[in-house]
Structure 1
Amino acid sequence: MTTPRQRQFLFAQTAWMLGGTALLASVGALTLEHAFVVSFVGLVVTTALTSPVHATVAWRRRLRWPLLAGAVVFVALVGLRTVEKFIGTL
């Protein structure tokens, strides 16, 4: 059974992802990498904005793993792009 806070979090994350995908598609920049970056930034922002200040909620501890995995993929994407740009200038 989900709580109202969990539903609020899920609705906010879903709205961010759909809005970001629609925006990327409207400007012609919809790629898998861009969609991932927009979704990951949305997850980080939604997690930060909806986190309680004085309490630790049990279901929010499970968000650490998707955030960690997303951060690893994000760093890998940035690293690949940096290496491509660096090699392209040689």
Structure 2
Amino acid sequence: MVTASQRQFLLAQAGWTAAASALLWVVGSLTAELVFVASFLGFALVTALTAPLHDRPAWRSWLRWPLLVGTLVFLVVVGLRTLEKFAGLY
């Protein structure tokens, strides 16, 4: 059963991703890489902003794994872009 806080979190994340994708489409920069970066930054922001101050629900402990994997992928994307721009290796 989905709780109200889970529903709030999912709607905020889906709204952020949809708004970011629409904005990227409007400016003509819609790529999978940029959608991932915008969605991941939104995920981290939504996770931080919806965190309860005192009582931590058990379902929130599962959020650390997507945050960890997303951070690793984000670092790979940034590293590859850096190599491409400055070193011309990729």
TM-score between both structures, scaled by the size of structure 1: 0.95
The residue correspondences of 1:63-82 to structure 2 (distance < 5 A) are 63-82=63-82
**In structure 1, distance between residues paired with 2:5 and 2:76:** 32
Question: Following the alignment from structure 1 to structure 2, what is the Cα–Cα distance between the partners of residues 17 and 86?
Answer: 30
Q: Percent identity?
A: 57
| Poorly superposed stretches of 4+, deviation over 2 Å | none
Give 1:57 deviation, angstroms.
1.1
**Structure 2 gap ranges (5+):** none
Aligned length in residues: 88
Report the residue type matching 1:30 in the other structure.
L
Alignment RMSD, CA only?
A: 0.7
In the alignment, what sits opposite 1:18?
18
Match of 1:6 in 2: 6
Runs of 5+ in structure 1 lacking a partner? none
TM-fit CA distance, 1:53? 1.0
